Chain A
Amino acid sequence: MIGPVPDAISRDDVIHVARLARLSLTDQEVDRFTRHLGDILTHASDVASLDLAGVTPTAHPLPLVNVLRPDVVVPSLDRQEVLAAAPAVEDERFMVPRILGEQA
């Protein structure tokens, strides 16, 4: 067993990842998630202590390849039903606030 790795992840890393995920965290939350994520990374780092030379990385937990479907059209959803779920609609399309507005 490898002991706890105190700086497995920094506060700045957490702030960066939160920003990428568009999450707004309080200072206390940043502290808490830095600790939690650090614990997870430390736990996962146990794997690094094993000799894995020659072991193929696991891409998927199920031992399956080539799950495929035939190229056959099936009915789509009703448009009114789809657009009813949109916060705003214009011209039968989803309306969203301006994009890249922060630099306009």
Chain B
Amino acid sequence: MADSGMLSGWEMVVGLEVHTELLTATKLFCGCANEFGAEPNTNVCPVCLGLPGSLPVLNQAAVDLAVRIGVALHASVGPSLFHRKNYFYPDMPKDYQISQYDEPICSNGWLEPPGHPRVGIVRAHLEEDTGKTSHMGGDGRIHGAERSLVDYNRAGVPLVEIVSAPDIWSSGQARAYVSELRAILIAIGASDGRMEEGSLRVDANVSVMRKGATSLGTRCEIKNLNSLRSLGRAIDYEARRQVDLLNSGGVVEQETRHWNESTGRTASMRSKEEAFDYRYFPDPDLVPLDPGEDWVDRVRLNMAPLPADRRAALEAAVGEDASSAIAGQIATVVELGLDGLVTAAISEGVKARLAVARAANEAAAAADAARSLDAGRFVQLLKMEDSAQLSASQTKAVLAELLAGAEGSPEEVAARLGLGSMDSAVLDAALDAVIQAHPEEWERFRGGDNKVIGFLVGQVMRSTQGKADGKAVRAGLASRI
């Protein structure tokens, strides 16, 4: 694989654990709101604060989303149990986290990142999120902190942890896996996919082995990967660190390491004697969960189309000739959820390349607004560009207005902005004036020096305040030679 070639003689083996917060209204075991950014400690109750005598009751919507995730990842969805994972850390007031242990709700699935080998999914299980701790004093990081402040709004928020097989051999494949998984989770309504807000979190288990070896090396678990970029950099750094260590006669210790984005390094998080012993046991307050075939079938029937299917549909609409050339843009359009707009435009006769480009580039800048943009207005606007009524830059300006919430049809918006094809008499006058004002450049252009055309076009654009169409200006200049 190209991007692990730098490990000469070695290869990396990576497994990923992805935690996704579920888009439910309430927490996993209580009716407190599941909401990001609320005032600290306002979404808490006796259950999620672990007060004596409180009892957890499982959220049906969280189970439904976990089943959706299982179906989308081609996993088997079966009977499962909830266990207590015991540990002392102030992020969980109960001193245990309710999770699933040896019987997870989903097991044995797979995901195929576009352009990379298929990755096995070992399991996906339900568990509750922990509270949010902020380390104060010291340098603001865990080590050297004088005290910690805890907000339990997040404690008990439903999570699904998706564990991949160690089937990933490059940082590129790891990024593609997370990116595709994220797109799937968004498409099925399980997650908002926001890595920067922590609603999607990734831990990477990284080990290295000699090329051709059959047994895996000792792995390190890398935490604090808040973006696809961090994920890629951290994996490459960690594999390199382990290879250097082994090449110099050292031994890789199995440990948890923290990625530091600013130094570009991983560092050991806990000492060896803190080896964890979670003493899992079945939670006596919760009965077994068994969605059963009917539930799984119902989810399967009502499942939104997956990104891979939507890419295929958009490729088919674009047509074979163009689809390979703009595969990247097609993927972006699907990832942003703008394929509905583009398909509508293509079916109305707008050129496929144009529709895909405007969605993947210009609409992407305001994807949330673009998703709720009326398809009819998008189509109307692109037809104006297609028929040269608006230039490319004018179309982009009108689109930006529409996405910013401008009222009215694209024609009305264009008129308000003073855009639209110029009256030819006005353009002719502008061309003549520029030629007269710059006789030297004009002579060079007539003499065949094409380099000055940019200057001349620029002068016309300036005198018309950008209202002229670049193509028409070039044509007009050429016709005057």
Contacts and interface: CB of A to CB of B under 8 A. Distances in A.
A68 B145 contact: no
A62 B287 contact: yes
A73 B288 contact: no
Q: Which bucket holds chain B's interface residue count?
A: 35 or more
Interface hub of A66, A82, A92 (most chain B Cβ within 10 A): A66
A16 B273 CA distance: 12
B213 to A, nearest CB: 34
Interface residues of A, number: 35
A62 B288 CA distance: 10
Given A98-B145, A104-B143, A60 B90 contact: no
Interface string A44-77: 0000000000000001101011111111111011
Interface stretch (B11-19, B114-122, B277-285, B348-356): B277-285
A37 to B, nearest CB: 14
Contacts of B282: 59-60
A72 B25 contact: yes
B149 interface: yes
Given A20-B86, A82-B41, A60 B31 contact: no
Contact of B271 (A82, A95, A103): A103
Interface in B388-403: none
B62 interface: yes
Contact of A98 (B147, B152, B291): B147
A100 B270 contact: yes
Interface string B134-152: 1111100011111111111
B271 A59 contact: no
Contacts of B108: none
A91 B88 contact: no
B67 to A, nearest CB: 12
Interface stretch (B32-40, B259-267, B446-454): B32-40
Contacts of A59: 81, 282, 287-288
A3 interface: no
A103 B44 CA distance: 32
Interface in A14-35: 16, 20, 22
Contacts of A100: 142-143, 270
B201 to A, nearest CB: 19
Contacts of B147: 90, 95-98
A20 B279 contact: yes
A99 B90 contact: yes
A73 B25 contact: yes
A93 interface: yes
A76 B42 contact: yes
Contact of A82 (B49, B142, B277, B288): B49
Contact of A69 (B60, B136, B290): B60
A62 B284 CA distance: 10
Given A20-B86, A71-B61, A100-B143, A65 B44 contact: no
A64 B89 contact: no
A95 B142 contact: no
A87 to B, nearest CB: 11
A91 B24 contact: no
A94 B143 contact: no
B289 A66 contact: yes
B152 A94 contact: yes
A83 interface: yes
B133 interface: yes
A73 B32 contact: yes
Contacts of A76: 32-33, 42-45
A100 B145 CA distance: 9
A94 B149 contact: yes
Contacts of B135: 98-99
A91 B289 CA distance: 39
A79 B291 CA distance: 36
Contacts of B279: 20
Given A59-B282, A103-B143, A68 B42 contact: no
A67 B57 contact: yes
Contact of A92 (B41, B43, B57, B81): B41
A82 B43 CA distance: 11
Contacts of B45: 74, 76-77
B290 A72 contact: no
A98 B287 contact: no
B93 to A, nearest CB: 8
Nearest to A103: B271
Interface in B78-101: 79, 81, 86, 88-90
Contacts of B270: 100, 103
Interface of B: 24-26, 30-33, 39-46, 49, 57-63, 79, 81, 86, 88-90, 133-138, 142-152, 270-271, 277, 279, 282, 284, 286-291
5 contacts: A59-B282, A73-B26, A74-B30, A100-B270, A103-B270
Interface of A: 16, 20, 22, 59-60, 62, 64-74, 76-77, 79, 82-83, 90-100, 103-104
Given A93-B134, A93-B149, 15 more contacts: A20-B279, A66-B291, A68-B58, A69-B58, A71-B60, A74-B31, A77-B49, A79-B40, A91-B40, A91-B149, A93-B150, A96-B148, A98-B135, A98-B138, A98-B145
Shortest Cβ-Cβ A-B pairs, 3 listed: A74-B31, A71-B61, A93-B149
